[in-house]
Each structure stands twice: as C-alpha cells, then as structure tokens.
Amino acid sequence: MNTLIQLTDRGLFCPIGDFYIDPWRNVPRALITHAHADHARWGMDQYLAAAPSATVLRTRLGANAQIDYLPYGESMVHNGVQISFHPAGHVLGSAQIRLEYRGRIEVISGDYKLHRDATCQPFEPIRCHLFLTETTFGLPIYRWPDPETIAADINAWWKSNAEQGLTSIIYGYALGKSQRMLAMLDPGIGPIHTHGAVEKLTLAYREAGVPLPPTTPVSAMPRNHRWAGSMIIAPPSAHGSTWIRRFAPFSSGLASGWMTIRGTRRRKAVDRGFILSDHVDWPTLLEAIDATQAEEIWLTHGYTAPVCRHLQDQGKRALPLQTHFAGELDDTTPESESESDSDSESVSAS
C-alpha cells in the first residue's frame, strides 16, 4: 500500500483524507501539530488541532482563525481516514498526529522531546508503520543534562547576580522555552519580569491551567524602576536591542540545545549558556524511533543525513525530507521583534 502522506509544495498532504499537516502555504484544511510559527502558519481556511493547544494557538493565530479541536487520544474520521492527536512533550498542546486507513498507521511527530517538562504533557510513543520525525539535534554530541540540574544552575546564577547587585536576563523562545524556564525558577530569589511577547504567551499557559510563578511585565513598571536582583525573561530577538539597556548593569544567559557546542555562548555574546532544549537529543531520538516499531522512518529538519545513514546501517528504511520546518530557531512573531527594538511593549494579537 502507498503511504498516506506525501510531500508537496504546500506541505505534507494526505490525498485520501484531502487535508494537509502543518502546511506552509494556504490550504483549505490544515491539521496542526503545535503553535510554533514554522508549523502553525496564518491564512489556512480551516484548522484542526489538539484541544490542549487552544489557548496558545488562538494567541498565535488570532481570534478570527477557524479552529476546531480534538482532545488527546480521541479520534475522528474524515474521508475514511481516522485522525487522532497524541502528546508530543514539546510545548503546551503539542501533538503527534496519528493517521489510520484500512489498517495502516502513520504518525507525524511534529517537534517533540522525552525529557521532563512541568508545562506540558509528556511524549506518548505510538506504534505505527511509518514515523515522520524531526532530527533538529540528530548528532551523538547532543545529549541533554537532567532538567533539574539545569534548573539548579539557572537559580544559582540568578542568586549570585542578585548578591552582586546585577539584573539577570535569560533569553528563551517566547512560546514554550520561556514558560518552561519560568516553571524552573525559584521566586524566593527575587521578582520575575517578562518581555511583552513572553507575557502574552505566559498568560495563555495560565489560562490553560499550567501553574507558574508570578510575573510582572516590564512594561508595567515605572521607567525609573531599579531592576537589580530581578530576573528578566525575554526572547532571543531582544538581545542587543535598545529595550535591554534599561536593565544595566546585568548578566545575560541563553537557554538552548545549541549551548552544547563549545564557543556558541561566545558567538551569541551572552555571559552564560544553559543546555535546555524542547527537542529530542541523540539518545532519546533513537529511543523514540525504536518505540514506534515503524517499518519506515521519514526525517525532517536538522541533521537528516547523519540520522538517515545511522538508521540505514541498522537495516531500517529511512528517508530524508526537505521541508520548511525550522527546528530550534527564534520563534518570536513580527510584532514581538518590533517590540524588542523599541521602548514600547504593547504587542498586538497575532
């Protein structure tokens, strides 16, 4: 039997079901794995997504988007194809999409991770015939430390900065990474403030019932506020902008899987690098693939070629795909980028 999905110039397409998955051009029906901008794009006629993504997806796509939701694990049938969404562990509401037709099962993972994250439901392995997986960090060098160790390192850095009279600024993507870091912070060290783009999505997490420490937007504070001892959470696009100058003197940090590579912190011009990613590392990528027991593995965005060779050496059928998915990049919206370069923190709805 031919595969249920194929790659087109508009994105991943299921011809039998007549719908697309995370398309990058306008289509009538789009199934969405999660709310990051490279997967959830504006302009689709109709969206279908996992119910836990409702608050963040509505924040990203706007109130006028036509979005239907399906709870994790529940299924619907469209043109004979059974569709269900299952936790991916990437960000709030992220999902793997399971398709079944006449006994054949295919799973599109979107982005995912297996490491612990208090802000979203953990990855759920699904047995299938075909598994489409990301390979953002698909090299043996990428192996994530225990998240509790990273949390302790971030809090120790913040506490040390506070004792020296410095402001701490940590950069993380506005959706997912920022809220994950926020959940790791010890609010007993000092006040926590947020960039407007981060605060907007943090409110969406709170609305979804995710418990997070208290935050105050930077924009809510007076211009002459003393920031010493505070923690500021901001997207990477704010780094080096005029918006940052108000916090001096400060120490800056960046949370990313790319911090694994020696020299990345220096090139990013930050004081500290924390290895924290919302994607699978090398060992958990292989673990996830094995857990599916898939006969065929399709690979997208990242180190597709090395992973493909590794899987083929193990006798697996593996195929790299060229998609528009970006992996771990700065996921700020145009509105939040403009905010970073100005003194204004008003962010319009996406």
- Looking at residue 264, its pLDDT comes to 72
- Interval 56-91: pLDDT, tens: 999 999 999 999 999 999 999 999 999 999 999 999
- Residues 12, 50, single domain; the answer is yes
Please say if the pLDDT value at position 312 is more than 60. yes
| pLDDT of res. 268 | 75
Degrees (nearest 5) of the Cα angle 276, 301, 33? Answer: 75
Same domain, 247 and 291: no
| Domain end residue (candidates: 254, 276, 298) | 276
Which tokens is 98 given? 């399971």
Same domain for 134 and 13, yes or no, is yes
- Mind listing the pLDDT tens digit for each residue in 318-332? 999 988 787 765 443
Q: Of 255, 276, 297, which residue sits at a domain end? A: 276
Say what the pLDDT of residue 338 is.
32
Q: How many domains does the chain have?
A: 2
Asked if residue 347 belongs to a domain, the reply is no
CATH number at residue 181: 3.40.50.10890
> Same domain, yes or no, for 196 and 218?
yes
pLDDT at 339: 35
Q: Is residue 345 part of a domain?
A: no
Placement of tokens 């709170």 in the chain: 206
In the chain, the largest separation of any two C-alpha atoms, in whole Å, equals 67
State the residue range of the domain holding 247. Answer: 147-276
- Where residue 263 falls among pLDDT bands split at 50, 70, 90? confident
In a shared domain, residues 151 and 246: yes
Query: What residue has token string 């930050």?
Result: 270
> Within this chain, do residues 323 and 248 fall inside the same structural domain, yes or no?
no
Rg of the chain's alpha carbons, rounded to an integer?
Answer: 20
12 shares its domain with 136: yes
Q: Check whether residue 256 and residue 284 sit in a common domain.
A: no
Is 348 part of any domain? no
Residue 199 lies in a domain: yes
* 341 found inside a domain: no
Residue where one domain finishes, among candidates 276, 310, 328 = 276
pLDDT tens for each residue of 156-199: 999 999 999 999 999 999 999 999 999 999 999 999 999 999 99
pTM exceeds cut of 0.85: yes
Residue 232 contacts residue 162 (beta carbons within 8 Å): no
